[in-house]
Amino acid sequence: MAAAKPHILIAGGGIGGMCAAAALLQRGFDVDVFEQAEAQREIGAGIQISPNGCRALDSIGAFEPLRKLSCRAESKEVRLWNSGKAWKLFDLGSQAVERYGYPYLTVYRPDLLEAVSAAALRLKPSALHLGSKAAGFAESGGKVHLTLENGATVTGDALIGSDGVHSMTRRLTAHDAPPVYPGMMIWRAVIPARDLPERLRAGMAVNWIGPNGHVVHYPLRGGEWINLAATLERREWDEPGGWMAEGAKRQCHEDYSGWHEDAHALIDAAPKLIKWAYLTRAPLARWAYGRAALLGDACHPTLPFLAQGAVIALEDGIVLARCFETYSDAPEALRAYERARLERGNRMVAESSAMAAHFHNPGYRDAGWAEAYIDREWSAEAIAARYDWLFTYKCDSADI
């Protein structure tokens, strides 16, 4: 008689956890996801899904439903913070499909979580356990026992910690230092496009780059909304109540004093501005620990300067499921997953941090220097060197 397929427990029902659940269920594994929140929640903001992420979504059947709700931005460009001089970065539509097999989408985050969750829950409607905070776990007798905060214990063959940047699973496995504020924060808003001047409603993603921050905007939901994501270097986090808070327009205008009028038009039109602290952690040398492994922000939280955190979490989920399909022993499958993913995840984090110097540079105050620097650092070759290794990866067939 064939051995029963492993029963896999997942702590954290975010984008990464639900994608892993969908990919595992698709391959016939039994999966239960434990999410601390009473209802699945995503911040009402935008997210960019590059072609490698669309490939992951497609492999769980979530690409088409999401594409209908998203926006296929035509191109991406950089603009200089004060003059507005523009350089085209890459075509996000037909050229992306030709080159990478999928387009580059800009998506409303709740739509992404919904699409990924639906892919899992249509295969096992009872897989998601809300209001179920994972509090600890232990291994014994060839099983893993997950304890919930409500006192219940659930037993399975493996535990996937996709419980985000403050991961409980990471605390109990890697025992490393908690996340730190890296001296950078972001202002976030979703703006009805009708409230913006025509020129800011175009179907393109724009990165305004400047001396102490950068401002990104792109369309969502077929162009109905514009997502604003404005990063700023600020030495100290000044909201004692937590890592996010509603902010004042006046402060946001002051933060971008001297920037192009378009940056201020976006701030003016924002119905509400949220201040959000970035958080980072040192890279890990291990993601797999016996019958437990980490996935998504739990093991590779990142500055979002390559727009890859969620995309790499989606890839993790597909590769993890492929490893369980290939290696029947759970610890072996988790080691194979770590081998296949750790270097890519850690490289993504390091290169995202390195992008800060391209996006924020005191030299951008000098127009002549700025233009020469952008011509060089944002040339087609430089862009390909930074992005092609990310976009060409095929999570559905890469070596495992």
Ligand X SMILES: Cc1cc2nc3c(=O)[nH]c(=O)nc-3n(C[C@H](O)[C@H](O)[C@H](O)COP(=O)(O)OP(=O)(O)OC[C@H]3O[C@@H](n4cnc5c(N)ncnc54)[C@H](O)[C@@H]3O)c2cc1C
Binding span for ligand X by CB under 6 A among 8-16, 115-123, 265-273, 350-358: 8-16
User: Which one, 173 or 308, has the nearer CB to ligand X?
Assistant: 308
User: Is position 32 an interface residue for ligand X (rule: CB under 6 A)?
Assistant: no
**Active-site residue, 373 included:** no
User: Which one, 82 or 109, has the nearer CB to ligand X?
Assistant: 109
Q: Report the helix count and the strand count for the chain, using DSSP H and E.
A: 13, 19
Out of 17, 51, 210, 345, the only residue in the binding site for ligand X (CB under 6 A) is: 17
Smallest distance from ligand X to CB 199, Å: 23
User: Is position 16 an interface residue for ligand X (rule: CB under 6 A)?
Assistant: yes
* Cβ pair 386, 306 in contact under 8 A: yes
Distance CA(52)–CA(393), nearest Å, equals 6
User: Is position 253 an interface residue for ligand X (rule: CB under 6 A)?
Assistant: no
Q: Which of the residues 175 through 204 are near ligand X (CB under 6 A)?
A: 186
Nearest 5 degrees, angle CA 246-CA 250-CA 255? 90
Smallest distance from ligand X to CB 376, Å: 25
User: Is position 168 an interface residue for ligand X (rule: CB under 6 A)?
Assistant: yes
User: Is position 213 an interface residue for ligand X (rule: CB under 6 A)?
Assistant: no
User: Is position 134 an interface residue for ligand X (rule: CB under 6 A)?
Assistant: yes
Smallest distance from ligand X to CB 393, Å: 13
* Cβ pair 301, 193 in contact under 8 A: no
Distance CA(24)–CA(42), nearest Å, equals 23
Q: Which of the residues 40 through 59 are near ligand X (CB under 6 A)?
A: 47-48
User: Is position 137 an interface residue for ligand X (rule: CB under 6 A)?
Assistant: no
User: What b-and-e string marks burial along 67-90, b requiring 16 or more CB atoms within 10 Å of the CB?
Assistant: bebbbbbbbbbbbbbbeeeebebb
DSSP state of 111: H
Inter-CA distances, 78 with 89, 270, 363, Å: 7, 22, 16
* Cβ pair 104, 203 in contact under 8 A: no
Give the count of residues interacting with ligand X (CB under 6 A): 31
Q: Which of the residues 222 through 241 are near ligand X (CB under 6 A)?
A: 229
User: Is position 391 an interface residue for ligand X (rule: CB under 6 A)?
Assistant: no
Distance CA(151)–CA(145), nearest Å, equals 12
End-to-end CA distance of the chain: 27
Burial class of residue 5, CB neighbours in 10 A (0-12, 13-18, 19+): middle
Binding span for ligand X by CB under 6 A among 31-39, 57-65, 88-96, 195-203: 31-39
Binding span for ligand X by CB under 6 A among 6-14, 66-74, 192-200, 240-248: 6-14
User: Is position 313 an interface residue for ligand X (rule: CB under 6 A)?
Assistant: yes
Q: Which of 108, 218, 278, 387 is catalytic?
A: 218
Give the residue numbers annotated as catalytic, written as ranges: 218
Which residues of the chain form contacts with ligand X (CB under 6 A)? Answer: 11-17, 34-37, 47-48, 133-134, 162-164, 168, 186, 229, 276, 296-297, 304, 307-311, 313
